Amino acid sequence: MEQATLDSVAVTKEQILIDYRIAWESRHASLLARKEVFMGKAKFGITGDGKELAQIALARAFRKGDWRSGYYRDQTVVAALGELTWQQYFAQIYAHTDLEAEPNTGGRMMNGHYATRHLDEQGHWLPQTPRYNNASDISPTAGQIPRSIGLGYASKLYRQNPDLQQFSDFSIQGNEVCFATIGDASTSEGMFFEAINAAGVLQIPVVFSVWDDGYGISVPIRYQTTKESISEALAGFQRTAEKTGLEIITVKGWDYPGLVEAYQKASELARTQHVPCLVHVEEVTQPQGHSTSGSHERYKPKERLEWELEMDCNRQFRLWILENGYATEAELTAIENDAAKVAKAGRDAAWQAYLASLKPDFDAAMDLLAQAARESRSGEEVMALRSALQKTQNPLRSDVIEAVKQAIRALRFEETPTKPLLIDWINRTKHENWVRFNTFLYSQSDESPLRVTPVAPQYAEDAPFLDGREILNKNFEALFAQDPRIFAIGEDVGKIGDVNQGMAGLQAKFGELRITDTGIRESTIIGQGIGTALRGLRPIVEVQYVDYMLYTLATLSDDLACLHYRTAGGQKAPVIVRTRGHRLEGVWHSGSPMAVLLHALRGMHMIVPRNLTQAAGFYNTLLRGDDPALVVEPLNMYRSKERLPTNLGDFCLPLGHPEILREGRDLTIVTYGSMCRIVLEAAEQLAQVGIEAEVIDVQTLIPFDLPHMVAESVQKTNRLLVADEDMPGGASAFMLHKILDEQKVFRFLDSEPRTMSAHPHRPAYTTDGDYFSKPNTEDVFDVAYEMLHECDPRRYPALGYEISDWSFSGSRWWKENDSVQK
């Protein structure tokens, strides 16, 4: 195969041989990683062999301040940039939880997932412009692509908005490039196509690299891609003299000079002109197959395997060096042998460091078990546990804890001198392992939104009553004036100021860079937020209705919500996702998929204000904090009248603090959002029959009631009703879990706690459809009245009609259709 020359790109002989060394170090690391898995020293392995040459060429085009939004096979890119040692590479394979050993994820992610530590030990930003920046890799295919739009878009904002050029730790006048990498099969994902279109529209400095090895695990490209070529399939995106688009470049994965030239061209276009580029790297090989889960010999024909052996990029690089006289055979053999030694040394050092981290707890447990065996009537049983642990090959922390807990169980009827020491050992290691494996789901810094000082809204005596949308609008105006890093994007956000006018007129005042319309592309709207937030900006990204949040779930859940956790506090992206919902009518605009969001988005705060003044106060808090959050504005409050505060942009409502909307003595009703109005109406009607309900608005679902105000209320009322418009078992079940399991209110209950929610189907259309699909005022009254009837039937006689079954699970249908059974 004929290769290109290096005539147009300045690369020295010294650099060529350095690249050759890196290519072989990476290859040997991949080969060893597979062996470590098969030896049982690691759980799983996925490696970057076969892609070394293309990744080295990419690294040569990388500059400090640039970003990689990458693929879990990018080990050679990161190593070539000096951001990954082979000891760190193997430490990640062994899941070493020490950040000194494994700084990318603290052992929380499998191998191949890299992340630059952008935060110091206090959780504060470190400068990004002096660094080669890696956005934390994720495993879901194509999931890394949406945020690349935001990483590139940040450069556009930093370049075009003069007010941002003061933030030199995050950008040097927008000259940074985002290198996004992906396997060819994953280009079939909708996220990829959405991102390609968004990049072409926005004209941002993103270089997409497609590593094309012709397969998606076992599925050949003819089943994956139109024309069997992603560059040919995307030919319509190619820019022309008349119209903007992408620059599409194709190059062979074994062609060193062609690869160097391709990446120099792409990075220069992206960096200087903000032209997005696609580099389609064809004829890439995958020498060890997809992963350690199986062999590619099962699905690749003999001819393909022979071709891959011949066209292996490292082999072709060797031939090219020899043909051009850059080194002798003996020199290259020496480099290859040295590379093998370097990779083995990294593996050995990582393994020894990993074992050393386990040894203190293991040795302490073994000593305590031996002491306990000597003292106990059950000494034989305890000694057997110790012996079994001693014989365990490569014992894990969990193996040791299992043995110690079983020993304590064996000693449960004895009080020996060593038993308290075993208990202390368990308690100590429990805390230490919580730190290793369970911390950093949310910010632990002094910038956490939970630590923002609350400031109450202030009102003039003659404060006017305005539509809720106007108060929200004026508050956004104050925020945009305060901080140039804040910007908003979303469908219809710009020119018309969103569909409910919350940002009306703000684009005209602050400019299109600050308040910007987007296409209908929810996944990359979120990605735009993630990438810009990673780069120090404060995005408010709008998803028009809460129903449409379902389009965003993969990007939010797989990337944003777990970012701070999976990097062990190394990266943060304080995106605010703005949406609206509740009491919408119709199957497709039900407005309440809250359970889905609650469970998919742990790692984000979930704010559910009942009015727009509240919403404004929560936005003010969140923008002073450093966690991501979802704010669900109540759709039916935009034209309801609210008093205008005088301290717009400054009053801050505390997260996790409910508000008692109505005091009562007979039962506690817990709710949120638009249900507050319905519950308050029901409480007024209950009062007319002598029942005083205490109504609590939780205000935020995550965090939920930090001071345990619900428990204090139930201690007074002894009855609990949780009301929600989500489906059964959704947000109502979440709240009940919090109240029962965490606040332990069962101690105070005189009646069984009740939940009420929507029926287990999407709501029907029209006012009647909403009335009979979701809880209404009469339903709340009926359930609350029934709870009081059960305890005092003489004072509250039965109403006589059937009360709605809010735990509806299908059992009623089954009973009413028992002929089906017969």
The residues annotated with a catalytic role in the active site are 589
Could you tell me if 449 and 625 are in contact, meaning their C-beta atoms sit under 8 angstroms apart?
yes
Cis previous bond, 417, omega within 30: no
The first and second tokens of residue 501, run together, are 């006018």
Q: CA-to-CA distance for 93 and 232, rounded, in angstroms?
A: 37
Do the Cβ atoms of 84 and 59 come closer than 8 Å?
no
Q: Following DSSP, what letter does each residue of 783-798 receive, concatenated?
A: HHHHHHHHH-TTTS--
Percent helix, strand, coil in the chain (nearest 5)? 45, 10, 40
How many helices (H) does the chain have, and how many strands (E)?
28, 22
Residue 567 to residues 392, 398, 526, 627, Cα–Cα distance (Å):
31, 22, 19, 14
The first and second tokens of residue 790, run together, are 């059960």
Tokens 């619900």 correspond to what residue?
710
Q: Could you give the 3-state DSSP secondary structure of residue 215? A: strand
Rounded Cα distance between 45 and 56, Å, is 21
For residue 542, what is the DSSP state?
E
Secondary structure (3-state) at 813 = helix
Contact 661, 695 (CB under 8 A): yes
Dmax over CA atoms of the chain, in Å, equals 103
How many other CB atoms are found less than 10 A from the CB of residue 166?
9
Nearest to 653 by CA among 694, 693, 608: 608
Three-state secondary-structure class, residue 582: coil
State yes or no: cis peptide before 728, omega within 30 of 0: no
Element (H or E) spanning 576, and its range?
A: strand 576-581
H-only helix segments in 414-521: 419-438, 468-482, 506-510
Task: Please report which helix (H) or strand (E) contains residue 549, including its range.
Answer: helix 549-555
User: What b/e sequence results for 464-490 when a residue is b if at least 16 CB atoms lie within 10 Å of its CB, and e otherwise?
Assistant: eebbbbbbbbbbbbebbeeebbbbbbb
Task: Name the burial class of residue 660, with classes exposed (0-12), middle (13-18) and buried (19+) by CB atoms within 10 angstroms of its CB.
Answer: middle
DSSP H helices, 376-418, are 379-391, 397-410
Question: Given phi > 0 = left and psi -120 to 50 = alpha, else beta, which region is 602?
Answer: beta
- β-partners of residue 178 are 67, 206
Give the 3-state secondary structure of residue 398.
helix
* Among 266, 320, 291, CA closest to 58: 266
Nearest 5 degrees, angle CA 649-CA 581-CA 454? 30
Strand partners, 207: 179, 277
Surface-to-core class of residue 795, CB atoms within 10 Å of its CB (0-12 exposed, 13-18 middle, 19+ buried): exposed
